[in-house]
Amino acid sequence: MDKFVIEGGRRLYGSVRAQSAKNSVLPLLAACILTEDEVTIREAPPITDVGCMAQILRELGAEVRFSGEDVTVSSAGAGEHRISSALTKELRSSVFMLGSLLARFKRAAIAYPGGCDIGLRPIDLHLSALARLGVKIEEREGYIFCTCDRLEGAEIVLDFPSVGATENILLSAVLAKGRTVLSGAAKEPEIVDLQNFLNAMGANIRGAGTDTVVIDGVRSLHGTTYLPVKDRIEAGTYLIACAAAGGEIEVEGVKAEHLGLLLHKLRENSCKIHAKNDKIRITSAGRLRCNRKIETLPFPGFPTDLQAQMVALNCVADGCALVVENLFETRFKYVPELKKMGADIEINGRSAVVRGVEKLHGATLVCKDLRGGAALVLAALAAEGPSEIVGLSHVDRGYADFDGKLKKLGAKIARVRA
């Protein structure tokens, strides 16, 4: 088991390039099962979630090859339609395989998906949407069994703009007979990326990034080579790290409009932000001001995946911040670890009141989930003295070479065997 050893109090300087988006690459990999042709996804980040999805594809009979950071999938030999609980419990995004398997094989069986323990994250919206497309669903023995004679286009309305449900609808409806009109769709950049990827394979989808997506089913899809969108959450994490530790860095590869509300909040913290083309520069000097309120919402609202990092930042800012988590009911599990460092945080249900302190101090910390783990790293960078952080398997799910990139920016961080 590895741990991070961090000596806080160093400002960050330099530049870092964002990896391809974890939350885009995973559904793209799930989509590879839709064609027998080879599909290559360029610059897939070497994170454990990508490795887990690759293993799921192999279990289904697909061939998966890595060449550097490019991954090529050939699903010609795929025929299995059941995904074991051993894999699904490790990866929430395994649920995307439902839509792809139904579109390709007209049947699918999947154990209830896992991932980070940040709340219930029910998949009722996924299942009700699939039922609208003609899927028969049976739940027993911890598995979801789905079958259909054929998928039929339908009008689907989502009560909540679920990213996962939106992506599953695209993956299933792309080969359905007729037209599917999805209202209330999620608008995240990763939805747009999935549309562009599927269209590059021969699909007929339009409207991604708006409330309404129209999918005209096609007979078949073909192979393609595709470069995914960059990871706005990883990019945002480095921007917040610089804000908390001080200094000046530039993050390359990410579009400012994908991080609009975060950049607004960082300016509110008194950071200077300059964005041009695909580069964002942040300068942080002196004591920051606390944000008045941060409330997580579906895109283009504030991302839940950056909530923990911003709490860590406000721990060392001047004033008091109210943070409201609307999407996941147990996403404050990291807070007791921040309190070990001297943070002043009060939790009340889905809200946190953060009262900034002059300084945090180093401590021994345990990661409980992916983004909470990233927040602990950021807090350690801003703290006085040494910190040790264990439970890095959570962080490795979403950040490639996290310590290496931070070290390049001047952080004193080392990954050692615990």
Classify the phi-psi angles of 298: left when phi > 0, otherwise alpha if psi is within -120 to 50, otherwise beta: beta
For the chain, which domains are there?
Answer: 2-19+231-417 (3.65.10.10), 22-226 (3.65.10.10)
Residues labelled as active-site residues: 116
Name the one residue in this structure whose structure tokens are 């309120």: 293
Pick the more confident residue, 152 or 87: 152
327, HSE (Cβ side, Cα atoms, 13 Å): 19
Q: Look at the alpha carbons of 88, 90, 96, 101 in this order and tell me if their dihedral is positive or negative.
A: negative
Q: Which two tokens stand for residue 195?
A: 């549309």
CA 294: distance to chain centroid?
A: 19
Pairing assessment for the beta strands 351-355 and 344-348 based on DSSP bridges: antiparallel
Distance CA 354, CA 311 (A): 7
Q: What is the pLDDT of residue 85?
A: 79
The pLDDT value given to residue 93:
64
- For residue 234, give every residue at least 6 positions away whose Cβ sits within 8 Å of its Cβ, in sequence order, or none: 18, 19, 21, 22, 398, 399
pLDDT at residue 120 greater than cutoff 70: no
Q: What is the pLDDT averaged over residues 299-322?
A: 97
Task: Give residue-wise pLDDT tens across range 247-277.
Answer: 999 999 999 999 999 999 999 999 999 999 9
Q: What is the mean pLDDT of residues 407-412?
A: 98
Cβ contacts of 404 within 8 Å, gap of 6 or more: none
Instruction: Give residue-wise pLDDT tens across range 329-339.
Output: 778 999 999 99
Q: By the 8 A CB rule, do 219 and 194 touch?
A: no
**Distances 209 to 166, 190, 232, 285, 301 between C-alpha atoms, Å:** 11, 9, 15, 36, 13
